Amino acid sequence: MPVHWFPGHMHKALKEMKEVLGQVDVLIEVLDARIPYSSENPEIAKIRGDKPCIKIFNKSDLADPDVTVLWQAHLEEDRAVQTFTTSIDDTAKTKSIIDLIRKICIRKNASIKTINAMIIGIPNVGKSTLINTLANRVIAKTGNEPAVTKNQQRVNLGSGIVLIDTPGVLWPKLENPNTGYRLGVSGAVKDSALEYDDIGFYAADYLIKTYPELMKARYKLDELPNTELEFLEMAAVKRGAVMAGGRVNLHKICELLIAEYRSGKIGRISLETPQMLIKEKIEIEQAVVKKIEDKAKRKRQFKEGSLTPDKRDKKEIRTKKRLETSARAKAKNKKHNGT
């Protein structure tokens, strides 16, 4: 799903982050534990190099714990990366990130006196709340809407640590089409930039296939249907999302489904796994190859289309005869040389 939401302040923020990155001792990337891949900024990954990085799995209380363990192992295959799970309400654990920052930087260079740590994350991932917890005071604005923080700022955490806070940013182009849906379902993109029905159908399809027991329990269904449309219709009846004349209000039930997912009322659910990512990358590569092949085919058809069917047939006959003549000549020379 294409996401048409990359405001001017995001473009500016991304540029400023790249400019400051050289002064940074450790990078802290706040991820949504439910979508670790989709909430990871590929633009930063391109320029980070081997700089130490702490990837915070925030909202881990909303994610599938078994899947989170898989993602931690996957990301820590990069030796410069350490992962850390926390949730917005777990302030005690969040504060221990300060000790982790100091430990990483001292191990890298004992002479560092002031540690510059840059914190980044997509919109609405809980970055501002995390900063306020680390600073033990209200520094960053918080809210349930994406793009609350608009400008870069420096926060002195004490103990020789300066935190460079950056606005929540997405990136201009989402290479994986599923990323847009997952960002929409999780709430990283403003609802005004989305089609609720679109992400609702995506969420319903994924959830009934991946977490059927949770869905049956939440919507009080004995059995789940095979398609997302049938599920949404059944769930709408259960929740009273029905219009005059008995028609199902699909927009309303999609809106309700997304809200209940985001709040964790359905259960602890992750929207992606490392195995899914590998499969999707292969599918994307195959789609790119097919696109190139289709383009080449269209070019050939365009050239061939300049001839009438009669002339094209005559051309094919001439080509065939030329190949046959060439083959006979080669065979004759081979026989001659062999005698």
* Structure tokens that stand for 58 in this block: 């925030």
Please give the pLDDT value at position 5.
Answer: 47
Lowest mean pLDDT among 14-18, 30-34, 74-78: 14-18
Give residue-wise pLDDT tens across range 301-322.
Answer: 776 665 566 666 776 778 778 8
Q: What is the pLDDT of residue 304?
A: 61
Separation of alpha carbons 206 and 200, rounded Å = 10
Q: Give the residue-averaged pLDDT of 114-140.
A: 86
Rounded to an integer, what distance in angstroms lies between the CA atom of residue 69 and that of residue 74? 9
Categorize the per-residue pLDDT at 126 as very low, low, confident or very high, splitting at 50, 70 and 90. Answer: confident
In the chain, % of residues over pLDDT 70: 83
The span from the CA of 177 to the CA of 274, in Å, is: 16
Joined tokens for residue 79: 């030796």
231-281 pLDDT tens trace: 999 999 999 999 988 899 999 999 999 999 999 999 999 999 999 988 888
> How is 116-168 classified by DSSP, letter by letter?
EEEEEE-TTSSHHHHHHHHHTS--S---SSS----S-EEEEEETTEEEEE---
Cut 0.85: pTM above it: no
Q: Strands 161-165 and 115-121, how do they pair?
A: parallel
Q: What is the DSSP string of 162-189?
A: EEEE------S--SSHHHHHHHHHHT-S
- Average pLDDT for residues 131-156, to the nearest whole number? 70
